[in-house]
C-alpha cells in the first residue's frame, strides 16, 4: 500500500513538473480526527482517524477537465479499563478514481463514493454507502465503479453506473454481491420549480446459501424519491428490492419507505428541525406489510454563535421500543473543529448506517473529538 501511494505521488509530480499549462494543479488535503471516549465497554478510549488525499486537476483551453484522486484511510484505537487494554487499527485504500468532464457530461472510474436520495437520516436509497449522520468526519467506504452523468438542457440529469469487484455489505444489504459479476444501474432526476423527483434502478447478483448449497441469484432494486420546498420542506424516498426466488421466503422482497419534513424557524439565530419516519418490510410477496417495522428520527440544530452549534439526533425503534439519543456541541475555527458528543443508545441496532463506526456508540457514553482539515 505504501509503495502504491509513493508511485502515485511520483507520477503526479512528473505531470505537475512537465506541464506548462496554468490550468493544472496538484494538491494534498485531508482530515485528521482524534478523540477521547468513555462508555459502558471501556471507561477510557483514545483513538484517531486520518484520511490523506492527493488530487491532480487539469483543465484544457477548450474546457475539457481531467482529475485523479487518491486517498487512504487509517484508524487506530486504544481501549482500557485501567487493569488491561486492547488496541485495534487498520490502513486501507479509501479512494482511487479518475474523472473527466466536458460541457454537460462527466465520467469517473475507480474506487469512489456513490450516494443519492432525498432523505437525511433514514435512507432507503442507501444502496452504496454507510454514511452516519452523527459522524463529524462523514467517512464511508467507496465502491469500485464506473459512473457517468449527462445533464440535459432542462436541468434534468441521467446517471448510469456499473460496479465490479465489490463484496462488502452496503446499506440495507443482507447478502453481499458476487464480486466477479458486474452490477449495473441508473438514475434519472427531474427538477421542477419547487423541488425534484427521481427514479433509480440497480441490478446485482448475490450469493445465497440454500439448503447447504450456494446459489447465485439476481436482485433488482427500484427506487423513487421526491422533495418539495414550500414554507417547509417535505420529501418521500422509497426502495423495493426484489429477488425472484420464493425459497428465500421473507427475503424475497424488501420494501423501504421514508417520509420526512424539515423547516428552519425564525427563533433567535434560526432553529432547524427535521423529522423522518421509515417503514421497513420483508415478505415473500411484493408490497405486503404483514412483517414490518417502524423507525422514527428527529434532528434539531441551533447555531449558538458564528462558531458554536448545538445538534441533537434521536432515533426510535417502535417495535423493539429502543431509543438512540445523540447530542453534540460543535465549535469551529479556521481549520479545526471541536465536537463534544454524548449519547444514550441500545447495545445493538437494526439501522445499518449506525453500525458504520464499529459499534463506537453502544450504550451511554461521552466523547470529545477534534477534527483538523489540512
- Confidence (pLDDT) at 213: 78
User: Which distant-in-sequence residues (6+ apart) come within 8 Å of 19 by Cβ?
Assistant: 58
Question: Is residue 243 within 8 Å of 218, Cβ to Cβ?
Answer: yes
What does the alpha-carbon distance between residue 40 and residue 58 come to, in Å, rounded to a whole number?
50
Question: Is residue 105 within 8 Å of 34, Cβ to Cβ?
Answer: no
pLDDT digits 0-9 by tens, 7-61: 445 445 444 444 444 589 999 999 999 999 999 888 999 999 999 999 999 999 8
Q: In this model, does residue 269 exceed pLDDT 60? A: yes
- Confidence (pLDDT) at 125: 98
Q: In this model, does residue 258 exceed pLDDT 90? A: yes
Q: At 142, is the secondary structure helix, strand, or coil?
A: coil
What does the buried/exposed string (b/e) look like for 104-119 if buried means 16 or more CB atoms within 10 Å of the residue's CB?
eebebbbbbbbebbbb
- Confidence (pLDDT) at 251: 76
Could you tell me the pTM of the whole model? Answer: 0.88
User: Which distant-in-sequence residues (6+ apart) come within 8 Å of 125 by Cβ?
Assistant: 116, 117, 119, 200, 223, 225, 237, 239
- Confidence (pLDDT) at 358: 52
What does the alpha-carbon distance between residue 312 and residue 307 come to, in Å, rounded to a whole number?
17
- Confidence (pLDDT) at 244: 77
Task: Quickly tell me which residue has 490502513 as its cell.
Answer: 91
CA 74 to chain centre: 18
Q: Apex CA 189: angle with CA 183 and CA 193, to 5°?
A: 170
Arithmetic mean of pLDDT over the chain: 90
**Mean pLDDT, residues 147-171:** 96
Copy the grid coordinates of residue 367: 466523547
Strand ranges for the chain from DSSP E: 24-39, 44-59, 65-80, 85-102, 105-112, 143-151, 157-163, 183-192, 195-210, 213-229, 233-243, 253-265, 271-283, 292-303, 308-317, 322-332, 336-344, 364-373
Q: In this model, does residue 211 exceed pLDDT 90? A: no
Q: With bands split at pLDDT 50, 70 and 90, how would you rate the model's confidence at 2? A: very low
- Confidence (pLDDT) at 350: 65
What does the alpha-carbon distance between residue 156 and residue 98 come to, in Å, rounded to a whole number?
24
- Confidence (pLDDT) at 354: 56
Q: In the beta sheet, which residues pair with residue 265?
A: 271
Task: Quickly tell me which residue has 459479476 as its cell.
Answer: 181
**Mean pLDDT, residues 267-293:** 89
Question: Is residue 58 within 8 Å of 21, Cβ to Cβ?
Answer: yes
Q: With bands split at pLDDT 50, 70 and 90, how would you rate the model's confidence at 355? A: low
What does the alpha-carbon distance between residue 73 and residue 82 come to, in Å, rounded to a whole number?
29
- Confidence (pLDDT) at 297: 97
Q: At 6, is the secondary structure helix, strand, or coil?
A: helix
What does the alpha-carbon distance between residue 204 and residue 208 come to, in Å, rounded to a whole number?
13
Helices (H), the chain: 2-18
Q: What does each C-alpha distance from 36 to 71, 223, 340, 355 come to in angstroms?
A: 25, 40, 10, 19
- Confidence (pLDDT) at 97: 98
Q: In this model, does residue 279 exceed pLDDT 90? A: yes
What does the buried/exposed string (b/e) look like for 198-234 if buried means 16 or more CB atoms within 10 Å of the residue's CB?
bebebebebebeeeeeeeebebebebbbbbbeeeebb
Question: Is residue 311 within 8 Å of 330, Cβ to Cβ?
Answer: yes
- Confidence (pLDDT) at 31: 98
- Confidence (pLDDT) at 157: 98
Percent of the chain exceeding pLDDT 70 equals 89
Copy the grid coordinates of residue 158: 441521467
What does the alpha-carbon distance between residue 156 and residue 197 come to, in Å, rounded to a whole number?
10
Amino acid at each position: 500500500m505504501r509503495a502504491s501511494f509513493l508511485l502515485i505521488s511520483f507520477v503526479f509530480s512528473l505531470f505537475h513538473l512537465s506541464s506548462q499549462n496554468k490550468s493544472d494543479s496538484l494538491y494534498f488535503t485531508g482530515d485528521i480526527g482524534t478523540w477521547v471516549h468513555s462508555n459502558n465497554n471501556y471507561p477510557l478510549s483514545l483513538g484517531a482517524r486520518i484520511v490523506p488525499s492527493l488530487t491532480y486537476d487539469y483543465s484544457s483551453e477548450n474546457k475539457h477537465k481531467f482529475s485523479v484522486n487518491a486517498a487512504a484511510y487509517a484508524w487506530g484505537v486504544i481501549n482500557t479499563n485501567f487493569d488491561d487494554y486492547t488496541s485495534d487499527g487498520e490502513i486501507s485504500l479509501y479512494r482511487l478514481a479518475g474523472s473527466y468532464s466536458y460541457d454537460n457530461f462527466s465520467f469517473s472510474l475507480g474506487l469512489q463514493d456513490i450516494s443519492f436520495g432525498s432523505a437525511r437520516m433514514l435512507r432507503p436509497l442507501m444502496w452504496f454507502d454507510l454514511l452516519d449522520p452523527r459522524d463529524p468526519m462523514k467517512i464511508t467506504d467507496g465502491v469500485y465503479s464506473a459512473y457517468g452523468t449527462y445533464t440535459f438542457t432542462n436541468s434534468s440529469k441521467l446517471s448510469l453506473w456499473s460496479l465490479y469487484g465489490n463484496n462488502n455489505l452496503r446499506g440495507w444489504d443482507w447478502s453481499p454481491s458476487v464480486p466477479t459479476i458486474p452490477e449495473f444501474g441508473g438514475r434519472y432526476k427531474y427538477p421542477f420549480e419547487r423541488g425534484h423527483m427521481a427514479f433509480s434502478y440497480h441490478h446485482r447478483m448475490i450469493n445465497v446459501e440454500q439448503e447447504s448449497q450456494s446459489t447465485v441469484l439476481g436482485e433488482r432494486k427500484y427506487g423513487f424519491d421526491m422533495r418539495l420546498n414550500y414554507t417547509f420542506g417535505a420529501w418521500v424516498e422509497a426502495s423495493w428490492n426484489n429477488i425472484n426466488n420464493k425459497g428465500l421466503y421473507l427475503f424475497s422482497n424488501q420494501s423501504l419507505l421514508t417520509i420526512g419534513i424539515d423547516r428552519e424557524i425564525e427563533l433567535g439565530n434560526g432553529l432547524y428541525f427535521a423529522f423522518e419516519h421509515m417503514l421497513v418490510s420483508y415478505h415473500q410477496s411484493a408490497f405486503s406489510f404483514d412483517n414490518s417495522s417502524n423507525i422514527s428520527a428527529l434532528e434539531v440544530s441551533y447555531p449558538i454563535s458564528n462558531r458554536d452549534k448545538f445538534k441533537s439526533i434521536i432515533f426510535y425503534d417502535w417495535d423493539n421500543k429502543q431509543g438512540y439519543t445523540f447530542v453534540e456541541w460543535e465549535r469551529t475555527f479556521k481549520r479545526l473543529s471541536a465536537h463534544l458528543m454524548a449519547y444514550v443508545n441500545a447495545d445493538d441496532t437494526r439501522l445499518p448506517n449506525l453500525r458504520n463506526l464499529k459499534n463506537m456508540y453502544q450504550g451511554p457514553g461521552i466523547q470529545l473529538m477534534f477534527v483538523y482539515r489540512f
